[in-house]
Amino acid sequence: MALDLSTYATLATALFVRIDTYDSDGLEEVITFSDYHQDLVLESTNYTGLGQLMSVTDTQSDLRITPQQISIGISGIPSANISTVFDSEIKGSKISVKRGIFDPTTGQLLSITGNPSGRFYGVVDNFSISDEVDPLSKQSSIIVVLTCSTIVGLLNRKTNGRETNPKVQKALYAGDLAMDRVPNLTNANFNFGGTG
Amino acid sequence: MSFLNTIVDLGKSAFSFIQGDSVGSTLLKTIASGYALNKLSNVTKSNDSSTASPGSSQQSGTGLPTLPYVDKGVREQVEANQKNRVPIVYGTAQLGGTIIDAEMSNSSQTMHYCLAICEMTGTKLSDDSASSFTFEDIYWNDQKIIFDSDGITSSYSIDRDGNRDYSIDGLVKVYCYNGDSEQGVVPQGYSGSVSDAYDVMPSWTTAHMMNDLVFAIVEVNYSREKNVSGLGTIRFHVTNSMTLPGDCLSDYMKSTTYGAGIAATEILDE
């Protein structure tokens, strides 16, 4: 949907990232942040302003649905907080990236239809952590890069269908022994009808 | 006495001729052994005739006792594979099934094969009713099986030209299941009840449920005379009540077993 912004003299945009994940205790946890320099409330949710500490690779617009990937980098995380990154069950979490347009003077989101607009919906496919050491200040910080795939990308990789083996059958239906003999039957020979 | 002496002399001459190394004596010995072998061969052939049955013994025409008839059977190899996948059927299809179990019983005279035919599909979006499968026809070596009134025991098979073959009469039984081991059904056009699958497969228990699978158990009773000595090529013509495109797409998108596993909340299916 095209946004009519012709009546606004100045505009600012920011990307808002929302990750629905689980903490180390298995409880639902929502992580929200944006690349704006201050916290903003978007759709009743507060987004932590990371400013230039957050980066998002470009997305591509296609007429048809395509499997895309984006990377979201968060830098400047203190080393002491690394455990927080590991404790969170972030891999496989749902992620959405929206673009919001707002008035830079007031910092308020423009009240027009279609704002904020969706940029990317998918899941966190993988993440990587790298250290950034400053020898002068003798401090180090961490950069976390989240590699995200669209649902279409995941479906392309999905291998579906029930394999005829006991492991798969029991994973689907615990205690079902119907396929237990398949491994032993592979290339097994029966002397059918033999009376000797 | 000269008459008797002449006969004795002739016998001695013949015996010494046979014992000799001459070409003539060797030829005679070969003919004699060939004749003996021929007689022995005829005795064996008579034991292999259709009147013989496994384990029986006969008196040959020569009056000599013969060994009991032994049917060595056939080597039946089962094509089970852990990497086989169970297909999904929307609408109508003919499938051969995937072997997931096979057992021999009744002193090696009966084989039971369990064949997974396809996945049991879910609830139809259009009317919120559960989908179900119908077994239309079952084919044995490309010939349609006509069952007895019980819908399980084969009576004869019929080819494309309408020719009947009674060789499978009573020897092949097909038990069909629509969802799990306790959902036995008979093919369309027949009426009757089907025992639970775990009562048909010799070693199965109530823990062998075959959950959410459309499958069949085929019982084959060995007969060398009728040339029934294995599973043969069997095909099942099945129809799923789920046929509408929207129902099928919705089912495939949501299924975590065989489909995309997309959460229902992420699909606007109104």
Identify the pLDDT of residue A62.
73
The confidence score (pLDDT) of residue A108 equals: 80
Taking CB atoms and an 8 Å cutoff, what residues of chain A touch B181?
178
Contact residues, chain B, for A173 at CB < 8 Å: 209, 211-212
Chain B interface includes A179 (CB < 8 A): yes
In 3D space, the residue among A48, A165, A149 whose CA is nearest the CA of residue A91 turns out to be A149
- Rounded average pLDDT over A123-147: 85
User: Nearest residue of A to residue B98 by CA position?
Assistant: A164
Long-range contacts of A3-8, Cβ-Cβ distance < 8 Å, separation of 24 or more: A3/A101, A3/A112, A3/A113, A3/A114, A3/A115, A3/A117, A4/A112, A5/A101, A5/A110, A5/A112, A8/A103, A8/A110
Lowest mean pLDDT among A169-173, A185-189, B104-108: A185-189
Q: How many helices (H) and strands (E) does chain B have?
A: 4, 13
Chain A: give the shortest CA distance to residue B12, in Å. Answer: 49
A183 contacts in B (CB within 8 Å)? 82
DSSP assigned state of B190: -
Contact B47, B56 (CB under 8 A): no
Cα four-point dihedral sign B139, B132, B82, B203: negative
What digits encode the pLDDT tens for the residues A6-51?
778 888 888 889 988 887 787 888 888 888 888 888 878 888 888 8
Count the Cβ atoms, other than its own, within 10 Å of residue B268. 5
Whole-number average pLDDT of chain B: 84
B36 has a pLDDT exceeding 80: no
Does the distance separating the beta carbons of B119 and A162 come in below 8 Å?
yes
Choose the closest CB to A193 out of B73, B116, B258.
Answer: B73
**Element (DSSP H or E) covering residue A191:** strand A189-192
Candidate from A155, A164, A194 with C-beta closest to B86: A164
Percentage of chain A modeled with pLDDT above 70: 96
Say whether the peptide bond before residue A78 is cis (omega within 30 degrees of 0): no
In this predicted structure, the answer to whether residue A91 has a pLDDT above a threshold of 70 is yes
Q: List the single residue in B88, B111, B208 with the smallest CB-CB distance to A178.
A: B208
Contact status, residue A123 vs residue A32, Cβ threshold 8 Å: no
- Per residue in B148-206, pLDDT (tens digit) is 999 999 999 999 999 999 999 999 999 999 999 999 999 999 998 999 999 999 999 99
Q: What are B86-144's pLDDT values in tens digits?
A: 999 999 999 999 999 999 999 999 999 999 999 999 999 999 999 999 999 999 999 99
Query: Which residues of chain B lie closer than 8 angstroms to A182, CB-CB?
Result: 80-82, 100-101
Query: A124 - beta bridge partners?
Result: A148
* Digit-coded pLDDT (tens) for B43-99: 444 444 444 444 454 555 566 666 666 777 788 777 888 999 999 999 999 999 999
Nearest to A164 among B75, B84, B262 (CB): B84
| Nearest residue, CB atoms, B86 vs list A158, A162, A189 | A162
Look at the block and give the residue holding tokens 């891999």: A91
From CA A180, how far away is CA A164, in angstroms rounded? 9
pLDDT at A39: 85
Q: What was the pLDDT predicted at A37?
A: 82
Burial category of A130 from C-beta neighbours within 10 Å (exposed 0-12, middle 13-18, buried 19 and up): exposed
Q: How close A184 comes to chain B (CA, Å)? A: 9
Which among B100, B205, B227 is the top mutation candidate for probing chain A, defined by the most A β-carbons within 10 Å of its own β-carbon? B100
pLDDT category, A179, cuts 50, 70, 90?
Answer: very high
Residue B28, SS3?
helix
Q: Which residue of A has its CA nearest to B204?
A: A178
Would you state the pLDDT for residue B46?
46
Q: pTM higher than 0.90 for the full model?
A: no
**Residues B236-253, buried b or exposed e (16+ Cβ, 10 A)?**
bbbbbbbeeeebbebbbb
